[in-house]
Amino acid sequence: MTRDWWKHLILILGVIVVIAPFYMMVSYSFKSPGEIDRGEGGFFGRQEMMVDERCVKLRDPSRDDIAAAMDRFPGQTDAAIRTALVAEAEADCSMRPVVFNYSKAFTEAPLLRYLLNGVIVTASIFLIQVVVALPAAYALAKLKFWGRETVFGLVLFCLLIPVHAIALPLYIMLTKLGLTNSYAALVVPWTISVFGIFLMRQFFMTVPDDLIDAARMDGMSELAIVWRVMLPTAVPALMAFAIFSVVAHWNDYFWPRIVISGNRDLFTPPLGLREFKGDADGSFFGPMMATATVIVTPLIVAFLIAQKRFIEGITLSGMK
Amino acid sequence: MAGLKIENITKRFGETDVLKGVSLDIADGEFLSLVGPSGCGKSTLLRIIAGLEEQSSGEIYIGGAPVAGRRAADRNLSMVFQSYALYPHLSVAENIAVPLKMRRLSPLQRLPVLGRFMPGMRHQAAEIGTEITHAAKMLEIAHLLDRKPGQLSGGQRQRVALGRALVRDPTAFLLDEPLSNLDAKLRVQTRAEIAQLHRRLEATFIYVTHDQVEAMTMSDRIAVMMGGRILQCAAPDVVYDDPDTIEVAEFIGSPKINIVPVEVAETGEICLLDRKLDLLAQGRGKGVMSLGLRPEALRLAGEDAPIKGHVVHSENLGAELFVQIDAAGLGHPLTFRAAPRDRQALALGAPVGLAFDAAQALLFGADGLRVRDVRHHLPTQAEVA
Ligand SMILES: Nc1ncnc2c1ncn2[C@@H]1O[C@H](COP(=O)(O)OP(=O)(O)OP(=O)(O)O)[C@@H](O)[C@H]1O
Ligand SMILES: [Mg+2]
């Protein structure tokens, strides 16, 4: 045992605290409601066949159904036919809890549509943020103009404004423009990211002036320098910014909840989670957690892929 | 190709005057070196010529036309930067291609993916490819074309930077200490390559360096710059043999020129260590002046030599020997170039007498300016002592 065991202990405790909610989420998405209620079944649950009560209730045979089923059960009483039909329905509606949870996640609400909305919104936000932030950061870092320090001061100042503080005025402005309940309402307020401008400006400060002058000598315009020289060298910083931006807006519940009311076609994934909250006929934790798992999976996959790019980056070593 | 004319350029950064009225006339096809100590404003002047920095006053003419207000890209100059400044994300071939692409292709043709399908693109791409190969062959980097700058050695990067500047056909080349990051051997080799390149291209070169050996060996003319002024601009041998000021004399030449104080009498007679030299500086009045003696102007002499001292240090370079001699009555040691056969006589601590040709001595006034109207008492070949 090394002398550093206590460091590892602290780190392991930290990991447990961070991982625990995820563990619960994934575990619940596998289990049946009974197991969730009783807190049993380990991680995967026992995966015993279960009957979907709602499904059975929906198929409760009516008088017409029984009459129609007469042919299949010749010479039996109505009560016996009814029992047989209910048994059939129960057989059809029984499934493994994991199948139940995930199929509910996709059928109870249009989850695919929500995921698509999430992709459209986060991608548009990030792209427009980059289109705005890169030239702004370049100007703040590398161009000399009157009032540059003041403008940069304003950028820093804007970093201090919490979004919740300006949510109401933003909402009112969007309403006046008639933009609520549209993709624009989800995207437009976030297109100028002062954090992005600040982050990219700090990175651009480290790019040698000679590189930019060389580009000018080679005949590039200032905008060409931004897209052809600064953007490719800034990929690592851009990836870091992408994480902040995409995670924040993919997971955002607050803002979509405010500007999207009613029109379910515009729901983003977190809004989709609401579909399972406190239904009258019992708790729906299984499908809810399955939905949550489906929502976070794209993020985790994306960042596992991006991880390599993060670490290697493009070094500026070619310049010296 | 065209000449350049720089007229009375000044540059202020805030409160500091970096350039204080620089004028230069550079002929078409000339190789001009700009030398001077660190911080004297060489890079600033070059950047102003390139259009990367704006002068506070003064005018620049390229090929006879004033270029005030013209962007760097439109001046059609080519520059190699002190730090190479290669694009780190592009391969060597792409780095060299950038200036050609930016000038020859339309904005549509430069689009990242679609550009390839624009009309006329295939022909253009082939042409650019040929020129890159040609430049790469000339600089012997053809085998490196697919690498990124990060995977190259300093010398290779420097050649790529040169290649990027050379593929174009600019009015003039501006090179800012392009050899400063190379090791001694590569520096000598690349120095020769650049000189050859100049002969072959017959283009105008302005070459900034603080290494005076580079300047001496490569240039048609040297402009010695100090404190934001050009002190002298002349052919290398003129700058060496006939400097205008004491600063130029001290800056050019390695080891440094020896400066010894001399006294000038009312009559113009000059005395070194109370000994009369056969030099006359008339009409300047009484006072103290400085005499510059190159290490090779000194030679060993016998008992009655004007300068006497002893050896305090010596450096053997094989073909020659530089000996430091502490002479009585002079503040600091003199450097003297001796032949290897004199090694025995120049052991550490040995007493030495030194003499010199009056004709090779350079006289400077108290203000540091050269005093040229000196006369010799005797025929120039005659010797002191
Ligand atoms: N942007 C700037 N702002 C303020 N002062 C500057 C700026 N650029 C250069 N200077 C000053 O101008 C002077 C000349 O700088 P310059 O880079 O031209 O020197 P140099 O002769 O090229 O030196 P070196 O041989 O070290 O490259 C220096 O004292 C430097 O501090
Ligand atoms: Mg410099």
Q: Tell me the mean pLDDT in the region B44-65.
A: 90
Most confident of the ranges A106-120, A121-135, A153-167, B186-200: A121-135
Q: What are phi and psi of B75, to 5 degrees?
A: -85, -10
Confidence of residue B269 (pLDDT cuts 50, 70, 90): confident
Least confident stretch, A57-71, A206-220, B27-41: A57-71
Q: Is A307 contained in some domain?
A: yes
Structure tokens at A188: 């437009």
Q: Tell me the mean pLDDT in the region A226-255.
A: 89
pLDDT, tens digit, 9 for 90 and up, residues B352-379: 888 888 788 888 888 888 888 777 765 4
Indicate if A185 and A83 belong to the same structural domain: no
Strand partners, A65: none
Q: Is the pLDDT of residue B24 over 80?
A: yes
Least confident stretch, A18-32, A41-55, A252-266, B321-335: A41-55
Q: Is B111 contained in some domain?
A: yes
Residue of A275 and B261 predicted with greater confidence: B261
What is the distance in A from the centroid of ligand 1 to the CA of B69?
Answer: 22
Indicate if A177 and A55 belong to the same structural domain: no
Indicate if A76 and A221 belong to the same structural domain: no
Confirm or reject contact between B91 and chain A (CB < 8 A): no
Domain boundary (B185, B215, B245) is at B245
Given an 8 Å threshold on Cβ–Cβ distance, is B88 in contact with A233? yes
Q: Are B160 and B95 contacting, i.e. CB atoms less than 8 angstroms apart?
A: yes
Q: Is the pLDDT of residue A264 over 90?
A: no
Residue of A123 and B153 predicted with greater confidence: A123
Q: Is the pLDDT of residue A280 over 60?
A: no
Residue of B97 and A83 predicted with greater confidence: B97
Residue of the nearest CA to atom 1 in ligand 1? B13
Residue of B226 and B138 predicted with greater confidence: B226
Nearest chain B Cα distance for residue A212, angstroms: 8
Nearest residue, CB atoms, B52 vs list A213, A219, A233:
A213
Indicate if A36 and A150 belong to the same structural domain: no
Q: Is B311 contained in some domain?
A: yes
Domain residues for the domain of A101 are: 25-107
Q: Tell me the mean pLDDT in the region A41-68.
A: 78
Confirm or reject contact between B50 and chain A (CB < 8 A): yes
Q: What is residue A278's predicted lDDT score, i.e. its pLDDT?
A: 59
Confidence of residue B347 (pLDDT cuts 50, 70, 90): confident
Indicate if A76 and A164 belong to the same structural domain: no
Q: Which residues of B touch A225 (CB under 8 A)?
A: none
Indicate if A86 and A169 belong to the same structural domain: no
Q: What is residue B384's predicted lDDT score, i.e. its pLDDT?
A: 46
pLDDT, tens digit, 9 for 90 and up, residues B164-175: 988 888 889 999
Q: Are A234 and A204 contacting, i.e. CB atoms less than 8 angstroms apart?
A: yes
Confirm or reject contact between B173 and chain A (CB < 8 A): no
ipTM over 0.85: no
State what percent of residues in chain B have pLDDT above 90: 19
Residue of the nearest CA to atom 28 in ligand 1? B39
Q: What is residue B380's predicted lDDT score, i.e. its pLDDT?
A: 44
Q: Does residue B329's CB lie within 6 angstroms of at least one atom of ligand 1?
A: no
Q: Is the pLDDT of residue A318 over 70?
A: no
Task: Output the pTM of the full model.
Answer: 0.81
Hey, what amino acid is at A290?
A
What is the distance in A from the centroid of ligand 1 to the CA of A214?
Answer: 18
Sign of the four-CA dihedral A171, A176, A178, A179: negative
Confirm or reject contact between B206 and chain A (CB < 8 A): no
CATH of the domain at B225: 3.40.50.300
Number of domains comprising chain B: 2
Instruction: Establish whether the linkage from the previous residue to B66 is cis, with ω within 30° of 0.
Output: no
Indicate if A248 and A297 belong to the same structural domain: yes
The conformation of residue A280, written as its DSSP 8-state character, comes to: S
Tell the burial category of B159 from Cβ atoms under 10 Å away from its Cβ (0-12, 13-18, 19+). buried
Q: What is residue B378's predicted lDDT score, i.e. its pLDDT?
A: 54
